[in-house]
Structure 1
Amino acid sequence: MDLPMIRSDDGTKTICIIGAGPAGLAALKVVLESPQHKAGQWKATAFEARDRIGGVWLPAPPTDDPPLTPLYESLTTNLPHPIMAFTSYSFPPATPLFPHANLVHKYLDDYADHFLLRTHIQLNTTVTSVTRSPSNSNWHVTLSTGFTLPFDLVVVCNGHYRIPRYPNIPGIASWLTSGRATHSAWYRHPHNLGDTVLVVGAGPSGQDISAEMRTAARSVIHSVSGAPSEDTGNLKRRGRVTHFGSSDDGQVTFEDGSTESGINHCILATGYEVSFPFLAPDIICPEIPPPVPPLPRDVYNSTYGVFPLAKHIFPLQSAFPPSSLAFLGLLVRVAPFPIMEAQARAVLHAFADPESLEPMQEAVDIMSRYEELRDGVGDSPLAIAKAWHRFEPLQQFEYRDALYDFFKPAEGDLGPVWDDKESKGVESGRYTKVPQWEKEAYLNKDVLRKAWLRLEETGEAEKWVKGVGEGGLHEWIEMMQKLRTWAEEQEIDVKEADKARL
């Protein structure tokens, strides 16, 4: 495609979107549907470093350092797709309730085609630098193609599953140097890693990989901080690793003082760092933010998140307009797609009406959350930084409701997924609340997934979703309610299912 049009004298505003994964696609779709874009007042371009759209959902071999994506071959979603999907676009009828990664990537491809996004995406183009112009009137965005272009708004959508986070455990360096330990970013399948494999980490990847390794390794040791020692079949659950011994004998020590030896390989499913290599330190400080109060004058990237951000999106500082730079998709432990879509609408609302952001109220909200987290995790700035973008289950829905209230969508403005009043929240002609079914499905996601795995094992899964969705979203809601009832009848409990998985 052609390069985006440089600012003209007609007052056209230009928008740069960094990344064409889920967040970037949502942002671009919202721009293109805006009345300002349709009137020729806004022009947007998304820059994607890879040769196809999809971000983390686009597979790639683990040949780069770090790999372009941590997508492993067996990955399926850990959320039912009706609550994972963008509110403006459903997964196709009969899609498995917890689809494989390749179906999610196809969904994103279809989303881009459905909303005619591709002509506004420049592939194979990395954003290498974003700086503020000396006049403080716009952003200068430098590309890997050699061009530097001015933009009025920059929307950061580069994701946070690229830079591996390594734990600071004594002795781990020699394991990494020798190749006896690798980060899960390099993991693709369970084969050829040895008879005894240690998996460190209790997140979704750690759970998936430890379960899958049991099919190929003689013994799997799963390290989960604070977990009691427990042996079931060929899996040993142990607590936090406190020391890696010599990589020659493959010995490690756990928090209870116990040891395991003869470990052939260790997979570190220990998460990823939030990284913005294109933003200079004068835009965002690469440090843990200082204690609050007062709110810092600068914006910080702790590698766990960005602080302080109004609405977890807008940099709250005075060096440039907060509405001119936005970060999408930083929240964790949430259903990300609908939140990204709501965040994108909030960004465009603030861009069109900067006065809608109230710095004093946003500062109060940030201070309130800081105090809440301090009560929960303690005074440590690092502990608070780790928890800053991490939401408890129902907080994400309160957050989305607050975003909807901020940009005030009209009824029907969120697209065809909200196709009947039973499936959406309607009040006085306005969409005002995340629907109750969505909250219930999220809270029951683990039981639903265990039940779905049982159906796949027995060959019944396809029958359960056959034709579901052809008549609208309510069919998926009814299917999930039916599956939840079936799980109760089958006495599928999350705790018991976890034990069975061991």
Structure 2
Amino acid sequence: FGTAPFAHPDIDNRSQIASLDAKTGQVHFTDGTSVEQGDHILFATGYDFSFPFLPNLKSVHKRIPGLDQHLLKIDDPTLAFIGMVTGGFGIRIFEWQAVATARIFAGHAAVPPQAEMEKWERDRIAQSGDQAAFWTLIPDFEKHFEALRALAGEPAPGTTGRVLPPYKPEWGDIFWAFVRYRVQWWEREAAEARSSSGPRSLKI
């Protein structure tokens, strides 16, 4: 959503917190500014993940290294990690990942050759870097969905397995329409607040 949620006149945007003074209650920021006696500090830091039951698995820049298609562990494809992506389409892409995983584990779909999986990760790093953009789907929705659909293949003959449909551009259109709707809502609220001289209440 960019900076739209934070462009409200009642929000004072600051840099990162540099230090806290326990005696005075002052909050000091990295740009040299400070506020007196902050009432509350909310740590909105996002999230990380942990797999304590896999002690040899270490995350790098909030991603699991050595995954093919953000899913299969390259050196041990009996391990799959569903949901390690972001950037829209969360529930739907998780379904595609789950179907591909189930087919592979059931023996109805083949694991790609290891060299091919390693190349995918190298190419992804070369394209997107090794941090947040690596595991962000935007803007390549179709590429990710179609790769998982190809990995999953078709249901086994005579079964009622899930048929993954081809990616449809309107899925992306719906996603971006939702983003625009939310941004426009924030912009309207900010404009209303700026034009109001009396008490304001934010309608949610």
Q: How does 1:292-311 map to 2 (within 5 A)?
A: 301-302=59-60, 304-311=62-69
Between the two structures, name the one with larger relative contact order (CA 8 Å, sep ≥ 6). 2
Residue 177 of structure 2 is matched in structure 1 by 444
Cα deviation 1:225-264 (Å, max 9, x = unaligned): xxxxx772x43122333x1230332222334322211211
User: Do the aligned residues in 2 keep the contact of 1:332 with 1:391 (CA within 8 Å)?
Assistant: yes
User: Do the aligned residues in 2 keep the contact of 1:274 with 1:304 (CA within 8 Å)?
Assistant: yes
Residue 360 of structure 1 is matched in structure 2 by 115
User: Do the aligned residues in 1 keep the contact of 2:66 with 2:73 (CA within 8 Å)?
Assistant: yes
Is 1:331 the equivalent of 2:85? yes
Number of residue pairs the alignment of both structures matches: 187
Which consecutive unaligned segments of at least 5 residues does structure 1 have? 1-77, 79-201, 208-221, 223-229, 287-300, 375-383, 416-429, 451-492
- Code of the residue aligned with 1:398 in structure 2: it is K
Cα deviation 1:65-107 (Å, max 9, x = unaligned): xxxxxxxxxxxxx9xxxxxxxxxxxxxxxxxxxxxxxxxxxxx
- Code of the residue aligned with 1:431 in structure 2: it is P
Residue 165 of structure 2 is matched in structure 1 by 431
1:390 pairs with 136, 146, 151, which one?
136
Distance change (3 Å), C-alpha of 1:494 and 1:255: farther
Q: How does 1:309-348 map to 2 (within 5 A)?
A: 309-317=67-75, 321-322=76-77, 324-348=78-102
User: Do the aligned residues in 1 keep the contact of 2:137 with 2:144 (CA within 8 Å)?
Assistant: no
C-alpha deviation, 1:403, in angstroms: 0.9
C-alpha deviation, 1:358, in angstroms: 2.1
- Code of the residue aligned with 1:236 in structure 2: it is D
State how far apart, in whole Å, the 1-side matches of 2:146 and 2:137 are: 14
- Code of the residue aligned with 2:170 in structure 1: it is W
Residue 372 of structure 1 is matched in structure 2 by 127
After TM superposition, the score normalised by the length of structure 1 is 0.34
Provide the secondary structure at the position in 1 that maps to 2:13: strand
Is 1:497 the equivalent of 2:188? yes
Identity %: 20
User: Do the aligned residues in 1 keep the contact of 2:69 with 2:147 (CA within 8 Å)?
Assistant: no
Distance change (3 Å), C-alpha of 1:238 and 1:498: farther
User: Do the aligned residues in 2 keep the contact of 1:313 with 1:326 (CA within 8 Å)?
Assistant: yes
Name the structure with the higher strand share. Answer: 1
User: Do the aligned residues in 2 keep the contact of 1:339 with 1:400 (CA within 8 Å)?
Assistant: yes
State how far apart, in whole Å, the 2-side matches of 1:431 and 1:446 are: 24
Which consecutive unaligned segments of at least 5 residues does structure 2 have? 194-204
